[in-house]
Amino acid sequence: MKTIIVIGGSKGIGKALVKKLLTHSKVINISRSEPDLTHYNLTHYYCNVTQDELPEIKQADGLVYCPGNINLKPITSLSIKDFIYDFEINVLGAVKSIQKYLHVLKKGHNPAIVLFSSVATKLGMPFHTSIATVKAGIEGLVKSLAAEMAPAIRVNAIAPTVTNTQLAHKILRNEKIIENITNRHPLKKILEPEEVAILADFLISNNTMSLTGQIFHMDCGLVTLKI
């Protein structure tokens, strides 16, 4: 049985992933709040990744970094502190986690790392300046780290479109907006966190031994199709 470290597994996509992983793996969740589920294969550590010291872990076969934020503002309303804050959550937190547990992962069984980007890196959208910038940093990290870690550790990322999580509720705030966003996607749907969790679970598994350095766009056709 594999042991997977999930950073930020108490809410949204992270929570859906923890539930999925627990069907076949031990899970070590590290987050600011405890998941509202219990399982004999689940261990939780309280930690604010950007501020606190990460816990010592002796064995792990995979790492998934889930924390992110949605900071949608005009460029004139974004301060340098906004950019720094977004970079700390999305990029530096991932780097800190990888550096902390890299030596543990190297000793794991077919180890893999999964990070999260966004469709905003490929599709220019108003008010996405900060998030697109930091998620582009994640994509650069994935490709560079995958090259550096090959063949020992696989590194991939998922770039979802808007997903129905608590974090996205400020976007999906009424039925009319939900309808408009849904209709922008060729598949006429919005992602559910469980769908993203299935792909993350797949990428961390032994079924993807030939995949590394890839960014997987779960875009419901938004970026790749024009219909």
Residue 140, pLDDT score? 98
| Residue 226 domain flag | no
The predicted pLDDT at position 123 comes to 87
| pLDDT band (50, 70, 90) for residue 119 | very high
Average pLDDT of the residues in 74-88:
95
Q: Look at 226 and 152; give whichever has higher pLDDT.
A: 152
Which pLDDT value is given to residue 188? 92
**Structural domain includes residue 46:** yes
**CATH number (domain holding residue 93):** 3.40.50.720
Predicted local distance difference test score (pLDDT) of residue 166:
76
pLDDT tens string 14-71: 999 999 999 999 999 999 988 888 899 999 999 999 999 999 999 999 999 999 888 8
- Quick count: other Cβ atoms within 10 Å of Cβ 22? 18
Residue 180: per-residue pLDDT: 84
- With respect to residue 56, please indicate whether it lies within any of the assigned structural domains: yes
Residue 179: pLDDT band by 50, 70, 90 thresholds?
Answer: confident
pLDDT at 34: 86
Distant-in-sequence, close-in-space partners of 198: CB < 8 Å, separation ≥ 6: 20
pLDDT, averaged across the chain: 93
Structure confidence at residue 96 (pLDDT):
98
On the question of a cis peptide bond just before residue 151, with omega within 30 degrees of 0, the verdict is yes
Q: 115 in a domain, yes or no?
A: yes
Lowest mean pLDDT among 32-46, 153-167, 168-182: 168-182
Domain extent for 183? 3-218
Asked if residue 227 belongs to a domain, the reply is no
For residue 134, tell me if it sits in a domain. yes
Q: Does 224 reside within a domain?
A: no
The answer to the question of residue 225 being in a domain is no
Q: Are 43 and 220 in contact (CB under 8 A)?
A: no
What pLDDT is attached to residue 226? 81
Q: By CB neighbour count within 10 A (0-12 exposed, 13-18 middle, 19+ buried), where does 77 fall? A: exposed
How many domains are there within the chain?
1
Report how far residue 71's alpha carbon sits from residue 77's, in angstroms, rounded to the nearest whole number. Answer: 11
Contacting residues for 44 by C-beta, under 8 A, at least 6 apart: 28, 29, 30, 31, 34, 35
